[in-house]
Structure 1
Amino acid sequence: MLKKPEINEYPPYYKEYVNHVPDGELLQILDDQQKETKKLLMDLSEETAEYQYAPGKWIIKEVIGHITDTERIMCYRLLSIARGEKGMLPGYHDDEYVRRGNFNRFSLSDLLHHQALVRQHTILLLSSMDEEALRQRGNANGCEVTARAIAYIIAGHEIHHRRLIKERYLSDTVTNNNSQ
């Protein structure tokens, strides 16, 4: 069983993500949460999937694209660090990635499918690693982090965005639809 990382295994700004992850087997949590996200969103109309709760904020499709892109990047970091990479892994600018991702050209179903495939890859990658690999430390975006912490950050990141979708997107669309 993959244990939660210690506070010294990741930068302080990831504490919220790590703390969001419930106790339990991380591989099962990762599998379950992807299914929960799909269940939450799969029946939304394309119009609702393009809802933006405030000017300048991402639409729901962009949030899903962001979750998927971030997981791809984090998996690369996880793999690199677990394999002993000593060079600094670069950061990324999420707003620029979302802008260039053009996620609104995809159907919501396609975006959820992409996310599921990336998640399957994450689970396979993690299940192939032993404790020694997961304890490896490396440098990502100028900060020291362990491979194990990155696995928890991936899970916490999705939980964070799913909560935002529920609170800021879906509650608003329900309220707006009921008032019309």
Structure 2
Amino acid sequence: MLSKPKANEYAPYYMEYVNNVQEGDLLHILDVQLKETMHLLKDLSEEKAQFQYAPGKWTIKEVMGHITDTERIMCYRLLCIGRGEQEMLPGYHDDEYVRRGNFNRLSLSELLHHQSLVRQNTILLLSSMDEEALLRRGKANGSEMTARAIAYIIAGHEIHHRTLLMDRYLSSDKG
């Protein structure tokens, strides 16, 4: 079973995400998370999916696009570092990716389908890696990290945004 990474395996910026993930089988956690997120949003109307809790904030659709894009990027990093890449992997500007992603033109069901496929890919990749690959260190976005830290960051990032969705977008007094 994959254990949580130590603090020296990722930049301090990611600590919240790693700490968001409970102890347990990470592959199972990733699978359950996907089901929880799908359940949370599957019956949302297209109108509600366009909701922003404040001016200039992302819509629910944009949040889902961001979660998916981030997982795509982090999964690429997981692959590269797990395979021994030593070149610095680039960062990305999430606000620009969301703006250029045009997620509001897609249906919520399409966005959820994208996330489902990306998560299945993440689980397959992660399950194919041995301990040596997961403990490999590489560089991304200006800092060193292990492949296993990336796996936990993926899980914790989704938890972070699902919590925001529940608290700021879907609570009974919103939208």
Indicate whether the TM-score tops 0.5.
yes
CA distance in 1, matches of 2:129, 2:13: 25
| Length, aligned pairs only | 175
- Structure 1 segment 45-124 matched on structure 2, within 5 A: 45-124=45-124
Q: Which amino acid aligns with 1:140?
A: A
Corresponding letter in the other structure for 1:46: E
1:175 has 2:161 as partner: no
Matches within 5 A, 1:131-146: 131-146=131-146
Closer, same or farther: CA 16–85 of 1 in aligned 2, 3 Å: same
- Separation in structure 2 between the aligned mates of residue 148 and residue 23 of structure 1, nearest angstrom: 14
Within 2, Cα distance between the matches of 1:23 and 1:149?
14
Detail structure 1 runs of 4+ shifted over 6 Å in the superposition: none
Is the Cα contact below 8 Å between 2:168 and 2:174 reproduced in 1?
A: no
| TM-score (ref. length: structure 1) | 0.96
Q: Deviations over 1:17-54 (max 9, x none)?
A: 00000111000000000100000000000000000000
In 1, distance between residues paired with 2:149 and 2:88?
A: 16
- Measured in 2, the distance between the counterparts of 1:135 and 1:165 equals 32
Per-residue CA deviation, residues 44-88 of structure 1 (Å, 9 max, x unaligned), is 000000000000000000000000000000000010001000100
CA RMSD, aligned part only?
0.7
Residue of structure 2 equivalent to 1:154: 154
Match of 2:36 in 1: 36
TM-score, with structure 2 as normaliser: 0.99
Partner of 1:125: 125
C-alpha deviation, 1:152, in angstroms: 0.1
Equivalent position amino acid for 2:109 in 1 = S
Whether 1:13 and 2:13 are equivalent positions in the alignment is: yes
Residue deviations 1:70-129, cap 9 Å, x none?
A: 000000001000100010000000000000000001100110010000000000000000
Percentage identity across aligned positions? 77
- Equivalent position amino acid for 1:165 in 2: L
Question: Does 2:39 match 1:3?
Answer: no
Alpha-carbon shift at residue 175 of structure 1 (Å): 1.3
Gaps of 5+ in 1: none
Structure-2 residue corresponding to 1:26: 26
Distance 1:129 1:176, change over 3 A: closer
1:148 is aligned with what amino acid? R
Residues of 1 paired with 2:174 and 2:99: CA distance?
26
From the superposition, tell whether residues 22 and 176 of structure 1 become closer, same or farther in structure 2 (CA, over 3 Å): closer
**What is the CA distance between 1:148 and its match in structure 2?**
0.3
Q: Distance in 1 between matches of 2:76 and 2:110?
A: 22
